[in-house]
Amino acid sequence: MEETIKFQLNGKQTEAVIDPTQTLLWVLRNHFGLTGTKFGCGMGFCGACTVLIDNEPVRSCQLSVGEAAGKNVITIEGLATKGKLHPVQKAFVEHDALQCGYCTPGMIMNATGLLIKNPTPSIQQIKDGMENNLCRCGAHMRIIEAVQTASKEMKGGK
């Protein structure tokens, strides 16, 4: 049952001897101790578990770890480089785009994926791209503003 699964995790080549059918979310949290990726529903409806796989925002509760084999997985812990916040993280702080913060990692990962694909999204495109990431505290307005700010800062950069 167990296999050696290899993938890039937050910039490092990683491997785990693990049952490949296990849910990526739980493997990230429980095997690798990366608890920034959150459980909100386990059914693909909330986006709290969003990570980037090959730069695509993906719901880690809907994926097995086997499906991540050979791919490049980035979690919220892997976003900041050398202690410097990623522009999206920075913008979330600046705009106070969070309250309880539980949806925040998923929001940031999803927004990052969105900006990689479309570095200059319109407000409507931001709304569309973020639509299925749920926030119960109602931080939506500031999240949109934060994504706009991040988009400006990232333009021309990466």
Candidate residues 16, 48, 51, 146; the one interacting with ligand FES per rule CB under 6 A: 48
d(CA 61, CA 143): 23
d(CA 91, CA 139): 13
Instruction: For residue 153, state whether it binds another protein (rule: CB under 8 A).
Output: no
Partner whose footprint covers residue 59, from another protein, ligand FES, none (CB < 5 to 8 Å by kind):
ligand FES
Instruction: For residue 152, state whether it binds ligand FES (rule: CB under 6 A).
Output: no
d(CA 108, CA 137): 16
Instruction: For residue 116, state whether it binds another protein (rule: CB under 8 A).
Output: no
Partner whose footprint covers residue 2, from another protein, ligand FES, none (CB < 5 to 8 Å by kind):
none
Partner whose footprint covers residue 126, from ligand FES, another protein, none (CB < 5 to 8 Å by kind):
another protein
d(CA 126, CA 5): 34
Instruction: For residue 66, state whether it binds another protein (rule: CB under 8 A).
Output: no
* Torsion 124-57-120-141 (CA) sign: positive
Candidate residues 56, 70, 96, 152; the one interacting with another protein per rule CB under 8 A: 96
d(CA 37, CA 59): 10
Instruction: For residue 20, state whether it binds ligand FES (rule: CB under 6 A).
Output: no
**Strand ranges (DSSP E) for 56-116?**
56-59, 72-74
Whether the Cβ atoms of residue 133 and residue 81 lie closer than 8 Å to each other: no
SS3 of residue 149 by DSSP: helix
Residue ranges in contact with ligand FES by CB under 6 A: 39-42, 44-49, 59, 61, 98-104, 135-137, 139
Residue ranges in contact with another protein by CB under 8 A: 19, 21-23, 26, 29-30, 33-43, 45-46, 48, 75-77, 79-80, 85, 89-90, 92-94, 96, 98-105, 108, 126-128, 130-144
